[in-house]
Amino acid sequence: MLWWFIRQLILRTITPSKVVAMRILLTGGAGYIGTHIIVALAANGHQSIVVDDLSNSRHSAIDRVESIISAPVVFHHSDLRDTDRLLKIVEDTHPEAVIHLAGLKAVGQSVAEPALYYDTNINATLSLLKVMEATQIRRLIFSSSATVYGDPETLPLTESSRSGIGISSPYGWTKAMIEQILRDVAHTDPSWQFSLLRYFNPVGAHESGLIGEDPAGIPNNLMPYVAQVAAGRRNRVNVFGDDYDTIDGTGVRDYIHVMDLAQGHLAALNHLSPGVATYNLGTGQGTSVLQLISAFEQACGHPIPYQIAPRRPGDVAAMYCSPAKAGRDLNWQATHTILDACRDSWRWQSTNPDGYPA
């Protein structure tokens, strides 16, 4: 503990004067993206307080983060919807800003169990807002998603592209609804400072290989599935459709390295201001399924078996953003390539074939 205080003092001395070290509450901070954000926050002298119910993560992920940053992370095992408990945590820990990641994110499950998704994602957010209101914390960064754009009319997607129409899953609707709730709340009281970050497709892992994406069961998303095929845990990748109007007929997405995404949160934190600001966090580059498989083959050094399968219902042909607004307003841009992401994902997968220890 003493070392932690000494380190904080050193960091405060060497951190550029514009950046003030803060205490940040991360809801859902034990998950894939949250753990990477804690590392980026610590590198800039900020201290993280995590509230997570571990419904889709393990405490051992926090242990790994602590070993990367050589400092303790304050952790509270709690459901965000337990408002009394959350209030007590916030009163005890005094965060100055919140990064709100907690929620359920499996698209297919949300179609099967919509009420669970609306209850968890919406009520967790309302509980958090009540506690922030009561404790006069006014700064919040929200994990939104490119899914709010539905089926894109034109590419690249900008923040003013049509959103909140034609969304293909209850999960996606919860993101659009939470965005609207935050806009409405900001409208009633101009002291709120909200940043809505629309993530494109987060991939990769911290370069240490100690933390990464650890999906429960069969991965729904492409990159973790490819990584498990590369590791021999699954036989082959099913490529969902090869007859789209894209470069090689397979689906195109904007894959963003999770550490670039984490840096985007730091940039958003440093630029919070009254009202609501919305940003696309992506690279601006589209990559097809076959291009991603090819990059992963380069990263792992052996061929990855795949077969063409029918299109997945609800999928769009291509989705990528213009990250220009984040570049202009936040002075942020992605720096990692898709090959970097594949290499880091492979390091994590090959050194942790079964994910985090129980």
Q: Which residues bind to ligand NAD, rule: CB under 6 A?
A: 28, 30-34, 52-57, 79-81, 101-105, 120, 124, 143, 145, 199, 202
What does 220 bind: ligand NAD, ligand UD1, none (CB cut-off 5 to 8 Å by kind)?
A: ligand UD1
Instruction: Count other C-beta atoms under 10 Å from residue 208's C-beta.
Output: 15
Q: How far is the CB of 119 from ligand NAD (least distance, A)?
A: 9
Q: How far apart are CA 356 and CA 132, in angstroms?
A: 32
Peptide bond into 190 cis (omega under 30): no
Which secondary structure element, helix H or strand E, spans residue 89, and what is its range?
Answer: helix 83-93
Q: Is the Cβ of residue 63 or residue 242 nearer to ligand NAD in the bound state? A: 63
Q: How far apart are the first and last CA of the chain?
A: 26
Q: Which does 32 bind (CB under 5 to 8 A by kind): ligand NAD, ligand UD1, none?
A: ligand NAD
8 Å CB contact between 193 and 316: no
Q: Cβ 57 to ligand NAD, closest distance in Å?
A: 3
Q: How far lies 168's CA from each of 153, 192, 263, 315, 347, in Å? A: 15, 30, 29, 8, 33
* 171 is annotated as an active-site residue: yes
- Interacting span for ligand UD1 (CB under 6 A) from 123-131, 132-140, 218-226, 275-283: 218-226
* Active-site annotation holder among 32, 171, 225, 279: 171
Q: Does 144 bind ligand UD1 (CB under 6 A)?
A: no
Kindly tell me which of 135 and 242 has the beta carbon lying closer to ligand NAD: 135
Residues from 324 through 353 that contact ligand UD1 (CB under 6 A): none
Which residues lie across from 202 on neighbouring strands? 256
Tell me how far apart the alpha carbons of residues 59 and 348 are, in angstroms, rounded to a whole number.
Answer: 17
Among 29, 34, 152, 172, binds ligand UD1 (CB under 6 A): 172
The entry of ligand UD1, ligand NAD, none near residue 349 (CB within 5 to 8 angstroms by kind) is none
The CA distance from 139 to 265, in Å, is 12
Q: How far is the CB of 311 from ligand UD1 (least distance, A)?
A: 7
Residue number with CB closer to ligand NAD (15 or 109): 109
Instruction: Select the binding partner of residue 240 from ligand UD1, ligand NAD, none (C-beta < 5 to 8 A, by kind).
Output: ligand UD1
**CB of residue 6 vs ligand NAD: minimum separation in angstroms?**
30
Sites for ligand UD1 among residues 219-238 (CB under 6 A): 220-222, 225, 237-238
Per rule CB under 6 A, is residue 72 in the interface with ligand UD1?
no
> Residue 244 or 332: which CB sits closer to ligand UD1?
244
Q: What is the DSSP letter of 28?
A: T
CA distance 290 to 251: 9
Q: Smaller CB distance to ligand UD1: residue 45 or 202? A: 202
Tokens encoding 227: 């990584």
Contacts of 73 (CB under 8 A, 6+ apart): 29, 38, 48, 49, 50, 62, 65, 66
Q: What is the DSSP letter of 23?
A: E
Paired with 157 in beta bridges are 321
State yes or no: cis peptide before 156, omega within 30 of 0: yes
Cite the active site residues: 171
Would you tell me which residues interact with ligand UD1 (CB under 6 A)? Answer: 107, 145, 147, 168, 172, 201, 220-222, 225, 237-240, 251, 253, 289, 312, 314-315
